[in-house]
C-alpha cells in the first residue's frame, strides 16, 4: 500500500464543484433505436454500435450465428443433446479495460474503433454492468475537474492511460437475487509514470480522493469498492506494467462463483461475465466423479480447481498456471474454503506445455481452459498418445527410475519452489492413475474445432457431451464446455455388449 505521505490530504488540491452525480445516473437514457417488434426481445439497442468495436452483432443476441456451425459440428461426433445457455443479454460485463484519450476538457473513455487507435467514447454501453457506466461518468468528471491529462500515444505524454473496472457482487447481507444490481467497482488507474514518486503523483492523489469522496461508502450512491494504480510507461500496446499499488478501500475483491468465495487481484485474470461463468461451473461439476483426482491446467487463480475440491470432494487438486500474479489470489481463496474440505490442494507456477505428462500422471480428470488460440501442440500430443505413456509408466512403476529426492529437471524444481500446497487430513492410498476424463473449456471456437479433431483422431478419446454458453452477447463468440472420455465409442459399445451377454448368462 502507498505511504501515508503519498495519500496525504494536505497535498490534495482544493475540491472543485461536482455536477450532481445522482441526477446524471438517474436521468433518462437516450431514446431507443426503433427496431422491428419481433426482434426487440433480443436486440442490442445500443447507440454506440456503429462506431464501437466491442460488439459485432446487433440482432438475436440470444442465438449467436456460430451456434448453427456448433450444432452441426457436434452432431457429426455423435452429440445429439448439445445445449446452449443464452444467459443475460445486457449489462452482463463485470470487468472492462477502457482506454483514456482525448483531452481533460473532453476525455474519451472507451474502446478503439475497429482497425484504428481512435478511442470511441461509450458512456451508455449496453454490455457494461450499470455500475461500470456510472463509475466511468464519475471518472470523466474527475478528469475534467482536476485537469488530468489523458494519454497521448503519439507523443507518449499525458497521465492517465487506461482504466480497468471490475465489479464484485459478493454481498452476503443481501438476498442472492439482489446482489448483482448492487455491485461495487474496483477501479485500477493505469498511470503514465514509473512509480508513486513521479512529478504527477499529486494528480494521481487528487483523482483517487475525488473518486473515493464522490463514489465511496460515505456517499449517497456507493459505487466504488476500492482504488488501485498500475504504473506503466511502455510505448507498446501492453496495458499494464509490473508495478501495482493499492490506494483506497478494501484491498481484496471477493466474488462467489461455483459454490466458493474467490479472491481476484486486479493483476489476475477474471471472467468478464461472472454469471455465465458460474452457470458453466455448475454444469462442469456434474462431470467430475466424487473423490476424483483433478489437474486444472491453465488454472489462473484456481477458481475451477477449488470449486471442484469443495463441490466434488476431490481427493486431490493440482492447479497449474504460468502467470505468477495469480498465486496470491489462490492463497487468499484457500483461506475461505470450508473447514470440511479434505483434499490435497496445490498451485504450481509452471508452463504445462513443457513435458505435460508430468501434470497428467496421477489424475483422473483433466480440466483445460486455454487462451483463444487453443491448446499447445505438446499438450495435444500428450493427450493423443496417452495410452502409450500409460503403458510405459506401468512398466517402470516398480523400479521408480525417477525418484523424487533425485529430481534434477529444472522446470520441475522451479515449479516446486513457486507452488502452494495444502495437505489433506486423510492419508489417501497412493494410486497410479491416468486421466479417464478430459474437460475442455474453450473461448475460441475455430481453435477448439481443430483441437477436438486432433484429439479424437487418435481414438484415445471420444466426445461424450458438449454445451455452450453466451459469455459475450453481441459477438460471434461462444464459450464451449466439452467432455471427452477415454477410449473410442466402438470399444465402449463392445464392452457394453459383453456386459449384457454376461448378465444374460
Helix (H, G, I), strand (E, B) or coil at 158: coil
**Do 158 and 63 form a contact (C-beta atoms < 8 A)?**
no
**Do 484 and 461 form a contact (C-beta atoms < 8 A)?**
yes
Question: Per residue, what are the HEC states of 368-413?
Answer: ECCCCCCCCHHHHHHHHCHHHHHHHHHHHCCCCCCCHHHCCCHHHH
Instruction: Give me the catalytic one of 52, 94, 443, 452.
Output: 443
Q: Sheet holding 83-85: strands in order across?
A: 83-85, 461-469, 479-486, 437-442, 365-368, 293-297, 316-321, 344-349, 420-422
**Do 108 and 101 form a contact (C-beta atoms < 8 A)?**
yes
Q: Sheet holding 243-249: strands in order across?
A: 119-121, 107-112, 95-102, 160-168, 184-191, 224-231, 243-249
What crossing angle do the helices spanning 303-311 and 326-334 adopt, rounded to 10°? 20
Nearest of 103, 111, 90 to residue 46 by alpha carbon:
90
Over the range 274-297, which residues count as b (16 or more CB within 10 Å of their CB) and which as e?
bbbbbbbbebbbebbeeebbbbbb
The CA distance from 326 to 320, in Å, is 10
Nearest of 164, 222, 230, 226 to residue 196 by alpha carbon:
230
Give me 167's grid cell. Answer: 465489479
Helix H or strand E encompassing 356: none
Compute how many other C-beta atoms are within 10 angstroms of the C-beta atom of residue 335: 8
- Residue 25 CB-density burial (10 A; 0-12 exposed, 13-18 middle, 19+ buried): middle
For residue 125, indicate whether it is catalytic: no
The CA distance from 22 to 79, in Å, is 51
Q: How far is CA 374 from CA 297, 322, 346, 353, 446, in A?
A: 12, 15, 24, 12, 9
The CA distance from 399 to 409, in Å, is 19
Q: How far is CA 171 from CA 62, 333, 415, in A?
A: 29, 16, 35
Alpha helices in 286-325 (DSSP H): 303-311
Question: Which amino acids are annotated catalytic?
Answer: 443
Amino acid at each position: 500500500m502507498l505511504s501515508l505521505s503519498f495519500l496525504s490530504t494536505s497535498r490534495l488540491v482544493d475540491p472543485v464543484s461536482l455536477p450532481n452525480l445522482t441526477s446524471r445516473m438517474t436521468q433518462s437514457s437516450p431514446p431507443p433505436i426503433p427496431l422491428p417488434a419481433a426482434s426487440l426481445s433480443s436486440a442490442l439497442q445500443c447507440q454506440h454500435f456503429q462506431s464501437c468495436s466491442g460488439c459485432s452483432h446487433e440482432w438475436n443476441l440470444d442465438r449467436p450465428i456460430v451456434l448453427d456451425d456448433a450444432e452441426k459440428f457436434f452432431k457429426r461426433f455423435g452429440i445429439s443433446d448439445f445445449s446452449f445457455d443464452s444467459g443475460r443479454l445486457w449489462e452482463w460485463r463485470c470487468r472492462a479495460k477502457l482506454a483514456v484519450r482525448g483531452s481533460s476538457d473532453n476525455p474519451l473513455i472507451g474502446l478503439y474503433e475497429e482497425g484504428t487507435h481512435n478511442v470511441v467514447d461509450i458512456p451508455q454501453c449496453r454490455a457494461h454492468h450499470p455500475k461500470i457506466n456510472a463509475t466511468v461518468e464519475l471518472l470523466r468528471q474527475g478528469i475534467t475537474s482536476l485537469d488530468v491529462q489523458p494519454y497521448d500515444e503519439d507523443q507518449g505524454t499525458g497521465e492517465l492511460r487506461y482504466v480497468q473496472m471490475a465489479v464484485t457482487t459478493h454481498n452476503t447481507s443481501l438476498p442472492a437475487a439482489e446482489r448483482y444490481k448492487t455491485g461495487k467497482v474496483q477501479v485500477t488507474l493505469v498511470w503514465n509514470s514509473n512509480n508513486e514518486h513521479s512529478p504527477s503523483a499529486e494528480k494521481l492523489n487528487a483523482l483517487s480522493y475525488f473518486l473515493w469522496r464522490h463514489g465511496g461508502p460515505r456517499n449517497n450512491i456507493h459505487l466504488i469498492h476500492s482504488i488501485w494504480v498500475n504504473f506503466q510507461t511502455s510505448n507498446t500496446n501492453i496495458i499494464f506494467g509490473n508495478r501495482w499499488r493499492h490506494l483506497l478501500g478494501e484491498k481484496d475483491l471477493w466474488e462467489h462463483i461455483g459454490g466458493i468465495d474467490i479472491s481476484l487481484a486486479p493483476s489476475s485474470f477474471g471472467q468478464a461475465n461472472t454469471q455465465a461463468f458460474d452457470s458453466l461451473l455448475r454444469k462442469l461439476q456434474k462431470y467430475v466423479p466424487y473423490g476424483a483426482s483433478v489437474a486444472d491446467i491453465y488454472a489462473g487463480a484456481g477458481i475451477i480447481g477449488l470449486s471442484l475440491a469443495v463441490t466434488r470432494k476431490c481427493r486431490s487438486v493440482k492447479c497449474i498456471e504460468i502467470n505468477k500474479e495469480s498465486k496470491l489470489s489462490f492463497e487468499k481463496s484457500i483461506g475461505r474454503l470450508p473447514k470440511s474440505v479434505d483434499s490435497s490442494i496445490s498451485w504450481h507456477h509452471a508452463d504445462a506445455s513443457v513435458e505435460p505428462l508430468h501434470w497428467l500422471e496421477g489424475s483422473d480428470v483433466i480440466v483445460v481452459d486455454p487462451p483463444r488460440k487453443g491448446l499447445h501442440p505438446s499438450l495435444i500430443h500428450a493427450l493423443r498418445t496417452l495410452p502409450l505413456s500409460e503403458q510405459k509408466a506401468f512398466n517402470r512403476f516398480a523400479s521408480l527410475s525417477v525418484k523424487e529426492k533425485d529430481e534434477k529437471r529444472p522446470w520441475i524444481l522451479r515449479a516446486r519452489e513457486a507452488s502452494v500446497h495444502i495437505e489433506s487430513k486423510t492419508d489417501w492410498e497412493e494410486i497410479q492413475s491416468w486421466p479417464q476424463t478430459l474437460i475442455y473449456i474453450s473461448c475460441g471456437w475455430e481453435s477448439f474445432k481443430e483441437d477436438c479433431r486432433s484429439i479424437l483422431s487418435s481414438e484415445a478419446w471420444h466426445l461424450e457431451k458438449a454445451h455452450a454458453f453466451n459469455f459475450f452477447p453481441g459477438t460471434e463468440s461462444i464459450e464451449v464446455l466439452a467432455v471427452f472420455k477415454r477410449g473410442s465409442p466402438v470399444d465402449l459399445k463392445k464392452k457394453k455388449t459383453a456386459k449384457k451377454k454376461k448378465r444374460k448368462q
